[in-house]
Amino acid sequence: MDTTGRRQQRISGPLWYAGRVLLIALPMLALSYAIFSDALAPTLPSLPLTFAILPFVIWTALRFGQREVTALNALVCIIAVWHTIEGRGPFASAPLGPSLLLLLAFMGTVVATGLVLNTVVGERSRAFEALAHALKTLKEETIRDPLTDLYNRRFLRDYLSRELKRATREGIRVAAIMIDLDRFKRVNDTAGHAGGDFVLTEIATLLKRHIRGTDVACRYGGEEFTLVLPNATLQSARHRAEAICAAIREEGVLLMGVTASLGVAIFPDHAADPESLLRAADKALYDAKERGRNQVRIFARSTAKVSSLRSKTAKRVHA
C-alpha cells in the first residue's frame, strides 16, 4: 500500500466511526428536542414520549464507548433542563416541585441506564478478551516446548501432515532435517542438567537464526530436533543442514564441546507420508552417527535397511 493509501485508511477509520456516532446521535437529539420543545405537543402527548428516548440510550450504551455515551446523555439532559427552565416540555406543566422531581427522575434514568449498561458491556468485552488471550496462551503451551520455546512433537505431527497434503496439491517438495547432539550426555554428566538445559536453549536460538520464516523448528525429544522446510530442494536442504552443522561446530566452547549429526530426507523423493519422511531423515541421521558424527548425511535407499526409527536392537552411541 502506498503512502496515499495509508493516509486515506487512517482518515477513513475515524470518519467511519464518527459517521456511526452521528447516525444514532442525530435522531436521538432531534427526538429529545422535539419532545422538550413541545414541537410534538399539538399531535402527541409529550410525557409518554420521553420513554422513546430510552431505546436510543440503550443502543448507544451497547455500541459505543463511555466517552460517547456520556457526551450524548449530557446533551439530552441539557436539552431537557433548558426547555423545562423555559417553561416548555412534559415537565413544565406541573408545579415547580413536582416538575423538578420529574426532571431529576428523567435525568437519573437516562444517565443510569446509559452509563451502567455501558460499564456492564465493557466489563463483558474485557472478560471475553481475557478469556481469548488465556485460550491462546494455553494453546501455545500445548504445542511448544517449555524449555526451548520451539514447537513440540505433537505440533510436528499435525503440521507435517497438513504440509505434505499442501505440497501434493501444489507439486512442491518438503524437506525434513533430523538433528541429534553428539556427546550431549557428557555435558549432563559434567555440568549437570542446568548445563544441559543451557546447551539446548542455545541450540534452539541457533536454529531459529538459520531457518526461514516459512520453516518450522521443533524439539523432537531430549537432545533431538527436527526442521521442516517447505518448498525446498535437496540441494537447499543439504546447504541448510551443513550451515547448521558448521555453526554448532564453531560454537564449540559455548556449547561445551557438543557437535551435531544431521539427517536429511525429501518428500516425495524419499517418502510419501509424514511418518516415512521422519523415518527416512532419522535413518540418514543414524548413518551420520555411524560415520563418525559431526556431519550431514542424505537419506539413501542403501541405508534404509540399517535401522528403523527407534529400533529396539540398534541404539545410537552417545559418548
pLDDT for res 315 = 44
Q: Is 223 a known active-site residue? A: yes
> In sequence order, which residues have a C-beta less than 8 Å from that of residue 132 and are 6 or more positions away?
none
pLDDT for res 140 = 67
pLDDT for res 317 = 41
Selecting among 223, 242, 250, 275, the annotated active-site residue is: 223
Residue 144, beta-bridge partner list: 151
Tell me the per-residue pLDDT of 175-203, one tens digit each, with 9 for 90 and over.
Answer: 999 999 999 999 999 999 999 999 999 99
> In sequence order, which residues have a C-beta less than 8 Å from that of residue 199 and are 6 or more positions away?
181, 184, 187, 255, 256, 258
pLDDT of 254 > 90? The answer is: yes
DSSP 8-state assignment for residue 151: B
Tell me the per-residue pLDDT of 51-91, one tens digit each, with 9 for 90 and over.
Answer: 888 888 888 888 888 888 888 888 888 988 888 888 888 88
**What is the band of 45 on the pLDDT scale with cuts at 50, 70, 90?**
low
DSSP codes of every residue in 208-222: HHTS-TT-EEEEEET
Distances (CA, A) of 81 to 90, 104, 162, 173, 275: 11, 9, 66, 75, 77
**Cβ neighbour number for residue 120 with a 10 Å cutoff:** 12
**What is the band of 12 on the pLDDT scale with cuts at 50, 70, 90?**
low
**What is the band of 308 on the pLDDT scale with cuts at 50, 70, 90?**
very low
pTM of the model: 0.59
Tell me the per-residue pLDDT of 128-163, one tens digit each, with 9 for 90 and over.
Answer: 888 777 777 767 668 899 999 999 998 999 999 999
CA distance linking residue 147 with residue 157, whole number of Å: 20
